[in-house]
């Protein structure tokens, strides 16, 4: 049986004002066909002696009538809507296409009258250079118009995990839950791949190992990622179909993640985290933990450290309190009055601050300022900062790969943003120190952090912001990958955004999309970004000439307590088997 001939959508047209370039071309649409924005199309032209194939994405579809102005449009009906001219106006539909790829590489436009076809999944995939990706990860389904797909939407792991670039940044308005979906899905898929490599080559020192650290910033939403999502179950068949298209036959919740929440003031238990209580570990830091971790300066915010005097005093106090070797700092054990916890530190400082010899390089006002700020953070953070305990439960990030993520709650301390920032900085500091000391080949720390605007605000330059900037700029080479998100990238430190090699844009506000940070998206793409569906993301990485519109499959894991199935039903998720199929 012969294959039916491929039907063309239209032909390239390049009259004045619609000239083809090496980046854009236009085509008129056959009147029996429809073309939609985001469809991927192909055409071939003879350029000189070569035949060049072009793959492009429809940026916009236009319709033009045969009338010259609106007056003529009305005249056809004699200005009366009830009129029916004997013949249709029969305008023309045409589309603007951004070229994604040419084969062979040619910086030349397609020529007029070349036939344009809808791309096959293979052609679409080639358009985005999937065939050239070293290690690809399918994260969604590649949109091909409003309802159809052209295969999978892949990102290049060489851009995500550090070889050619690193980090993923997601932008999107609040309320649709789509930023978390993508971030958690990427975590899930990477864990799946790491598990597969572990099974296939357990002795391979270069195999992918992951330590996923997920910060929970809103309610206790991410404390239920080991439970089935009831919404997934409601449309089980279709959702599984989407995952199957990605090569995942058995989507399921995360297996045995470890949950950490701020320790309650005066207790050994964590703060309440919604319906999850039994398997949540508390985290906290005593003064000695702070000194041992080198975290003292992170207790103070930008306003504090921005002042040279106060910053200097913070440094001197830390130095004064620190003993042990440079590699293994310890809280000094001095005489009876040497502070061994935060309360003692406050008392000691209060008692001595008026003496001239006590940190004599600093005036009384500076010492008073230091004391007030330390008192504020210790009082506000009482619980996470153990005011009277000599030992806390500091977060200990593993130094080797693990099979499930660590979920660290920040919502329990949402009333003290400075404390939230401290916790994030403490984790980053620890990871950077670990990786800086001795890097395990193949070990990647995946740090998932929403609300980046809170942790690395655009106009801030404090230690915590600098920490995130350092991670963004240098983390990839040390195996520290930031999977960040925010509602408005324009409010985040540009260096953090710009260093994310893979960027995803969910539905975003039009005001936000007009900011400088979004100029890399064309007008049409920005317009599209303001109208995306909740499950859609525009994915961009340096090898793409235009962003890729992907549908992210609905997550099988709950992203809020309200969507979580009861724990008993979720127990089935605790046996995890790695499917045979290779996603790379």
Q: Is 264 left (phi over 0), alpha (psi -120 to 50) or beta?
A: beta
How many residues bind other proteins, per CB under 8 A? 14
Nearer to other proteins, 89 or 514 (CB): 89
Q: How many CB atoms neighbour CB 181 within 10 A?
A: 23
Rounded-to-integer distance, Cα 73 and Cα 63, Å: 14
Nearer to other proteins, 5 or 79 (CB): 79
Q: Are 138 and 244 in contact (CB under 8 A)?
A: no
* Site for other proteins contains 75 (CB under 8 A): yes
Q: Cβ of residue 192: shortest distance to other proteins, in angstroms?
A: 54
Nearer to other proteins, 13 or 35 (CB): 13
**Choices 78-86, 350-358, 380-388, 490-498; region in contact with other proteins by CB under 8 A:** 78-86
Q: Cβ of residue 56: shortest distance to other proteins, in angstroms?
A: 24
127-153 as b/e: b if 16+ CB within 10 A = bbbbeebebbbbbbbbbbbeeebbbbb
Nearer to other proteins, 90 or 516 (CB): 90
Nearer to other proteins, 116 or 168 (CB): 116
Q: Are 217 and 452 in contact (CB under 8 A)?
A: no
Nearer to other proteins, 85 or 266 (CB): 85
User: Using CB under 8 A, which of 5, 86, 104, 360 touches other proteins?
Assistant: 86
User: Using CB under 8 A, which of 69, 319, 327, 336 touches other proteins?
Assistant: 69
**Choices 74-82, 222-230, 338-346, 472-480; region in contact with other proteins by CB under 8 A:** 74-82
Nearer to other proteins, 72 or 303 (CB): 72
Give all strands of the β-sheet with 209-216 in edge-to-edge order: 149-156, 136-143, 548-551, 536-540, 500-505, 166-171, 480-486, 443-449, 209-216, 406-409, 258-262, 280-283
User: Using CB under 8 A, which of 7, 34, 64, 88 touches other proteins?
Assistant: 88
Rounded-to-integer distance, Cα 486 and Cα 564, Å: 24
3-class secondary structure, 373: helix
Q: How many CB atoms neighbour CB 570 within 10 A?
A: 20
Task: List CB contacts of 565: < 8 A, sequence separation 6 or more.
Answer: 227, 228, 229, 230, 233, 558
Cα-Cα-Cα-Cα dihedral sign, residues 242, 244, 247, 253: positive
* Site for other proteins contains 71 (CB under 8 A): yes
Q: Are 439 and 475 in contact (CB under 8 A)?
A: no
* Site for other proteins contains 324 (CB under 8 A): no
Enter the DSSP assignment of 4: P
User: Using CB under 8 A, which of 6, 66, 206, 574 touches other proteins?
Assistant: 66
Task: List CB contacts of 302: < 8 A, sequence separation 6 or more.
Answer: 460, 461, 462, 463, 465
The β-bridge partners of 47 are: 50
**Choices 64-72, 121-129, 497-505, 544-552; region in contact with other proteins by CB under 8 A:** 64-72
3-class secondary structure, 493: coil
Nearer to other proteins, 72 or 236 (CB): 72
* Site for other proteins contains 72 (CB under 8 A): yes
Q: Cβ of residue 78: shortest distance to other proteins, in angstroms?
A: 8
Q: Cβ of residue 60: shortest distance to other proteins, in angstroms?
A: 24
- Look up residue 66 and give its two tokens: 């045969």
- Going from the C-alpha of 462 to that of each of 311, 314, 321, 375, 470, the distances in angstroms are 11, 13, 22, 19, 12
User: Using CB under 8 A, which of 6, 33, 50, 85 touches other proteins?
Assistant: 85
User: Using CB under 8 A, which of 63, 68, 415, 438 touches other proteins?
Assistant: 68
- Going from the C-alpha of 441 to that of each of 134, 400, 401, 415, 476, the distances in angstroms are 18, 10, 11, 39, 12
* Site for other proteins contains 399 (CB under 8 A): no
Nearer to other proteins, 67 or 524 (CB): 67
User: Using CB under 8 A, which of 76, 218, 399, 551 touches other proteins?
Assistant: 76
Q: Give me the count of residues in the chain.
A: 584
Nearer to other proteins, 74 or 473 (CB): 74
Q: Cβ of residue 25: shortest distance to other proteins, in angstroms?
A: 19
Nearer to other proteins, 71 or 326 (CB): 71
* Site for other proteins contains 87 (CB under 8 A): yes
* Site for other proteins contains 19 (CB under 8 A): no
Nearer to other proteins, 11 or 495 (CB): 11
**Choices 86-94, 154-162, 274-282, 461-469; region in contact with other proteins by CB under 8 A:** 86-94
* Site for other proteins contains 67 (CB under 8 A): yes
Site string for other proteins, 358-377 (x = CB under 8 A): --------------------
* Site for other proteins contains 63 (CB under 8 A): no
Q: Are 502 and 160 in contact (CB under 8 A)?
A: yes
- Look up residue 170 and give its two tokens: 């997601």
Q: Cβ of residue 26: shortest distance to other proteins, in angstroms?
A: 16
How would you class 493 by CB atoms within 10 Å of its CB: exposed for 0-12, middle for 13-18, buried for 19 or more? buried
Q: Which residues bind other proteins (CB under 8 A)?
A: 66-69, 71-72, 75-76, 78, 85-88, 90
């Amino acid at each position: 049986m012969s294959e039916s001939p491929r039907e063309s959508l239209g032909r390239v047209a390049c009259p004045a004002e619609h000239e083809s370039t090496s980046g854009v071309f236009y085509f008129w649409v056959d009147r029996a066909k429809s073309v939609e924005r985001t469809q991927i199309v192909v055409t071939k032209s003879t350029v000189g002696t070569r035949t060049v194939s072009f793959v492009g994405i429809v940026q916009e579809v236009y319709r033009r009538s045969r009338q010259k102005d609106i007056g003529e449009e009305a005249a056809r009906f004699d200005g009366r809507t009830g009129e029916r001219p004997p013949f249709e106006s029969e305008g023309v539909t045409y589309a603007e296409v951004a070229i994604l790829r040419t084969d062979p590489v040619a910086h030349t436009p397609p020529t007029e009258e070349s036939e344009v076809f809808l791309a096959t999944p293979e052609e679409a995939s080639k358009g985005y250079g999937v065939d050239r990706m070293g290690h690809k990860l399918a994260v969604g389904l590649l949109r091909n118009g409003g309802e159809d797909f052209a295969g999978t939407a892949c990102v290049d792991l060489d851009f995500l995990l550090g070889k050619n670039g690193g980090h993923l940044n997601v932008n999107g308005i609040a309320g649709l839950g789509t930023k978390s979906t993508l971030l958690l899905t990427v975590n899930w898929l990477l864990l799946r791949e790491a598990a597969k490599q572990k099974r296939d080559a357990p002795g391979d020192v270069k195999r992918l190992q992951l330590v996923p650290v997920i910060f929970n910033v809103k309610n206790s939403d991410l404390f239920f990622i080991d439970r089935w999502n009831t919404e997934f179950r409601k449309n089980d068949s279709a959702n599984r179909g989407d995952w199957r298209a990605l090569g995942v036959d058995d989507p399921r919740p995360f297996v045995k993640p470890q949950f950490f929440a701020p320790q309650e003031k005066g207790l050994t238990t964590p703060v309440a985290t919604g319906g999850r209580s039994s398997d949540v570990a508390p985290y906290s830091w005593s003064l000695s933990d702070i000194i041992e971790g080198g975290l003292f300066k992170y207790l103070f915010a930008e306003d504090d450290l921005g002042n040279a005097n106060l910053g200097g005093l913070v440094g001197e106090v830390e130095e004064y309190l620190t003993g042990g070797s440079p590699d293994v700092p310890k809280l000094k054990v001095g005489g009876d009055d040497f502070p061994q916890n935060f309360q003692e530190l406050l008392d000691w400082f209060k008692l001595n601050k008026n003496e001239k010899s006590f940190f004599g390089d600093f005036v009384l006002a500076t010492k008073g300022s230091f004391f007030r700020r330390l008192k504020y953070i210790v009082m506000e953070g009482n619980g996470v900062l153990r005011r009277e305990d000599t030992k806390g439960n500091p977060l200990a990030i593993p130094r080797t790969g693990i099979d499930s993520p660590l979920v660290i709650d920040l919502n329990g301390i949402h009333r003290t943003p400075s404390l939230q920032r401290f916790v994030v900085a403490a984790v980053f500091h620890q990871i950077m120190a670990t990786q800086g000391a001795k890097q395990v080949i193949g070990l990647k720390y995946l740090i998932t952090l929403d609300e980046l605007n809170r942790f690395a605000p655009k106009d801030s330059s404090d230690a915590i912001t600098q920490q995130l900037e350092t991670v963004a700029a240098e983390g990839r080479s040390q195996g520290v990958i930031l999977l960040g998100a925010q509602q408005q990238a324009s409010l985040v430190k540009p260096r953090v955004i710009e260093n994310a090699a893979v960027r995803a844009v969910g539905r975003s506000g039009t005001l936000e999309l007009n900011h400088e940070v979004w100029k890399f998206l064309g007008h049409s793409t920005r317009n599209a970004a303001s109208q995306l569906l909740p499950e859609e993301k525009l994915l961009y990485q340096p090898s793409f000439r235009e962003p890729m519109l992907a549908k992210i499959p609905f997550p099988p894991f709950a992203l809020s307590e309200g969507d979580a199935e009861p724990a008993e039903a979720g127990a089935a998720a605790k046996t995890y088997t790695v499917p045979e199929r290779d996603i790379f």
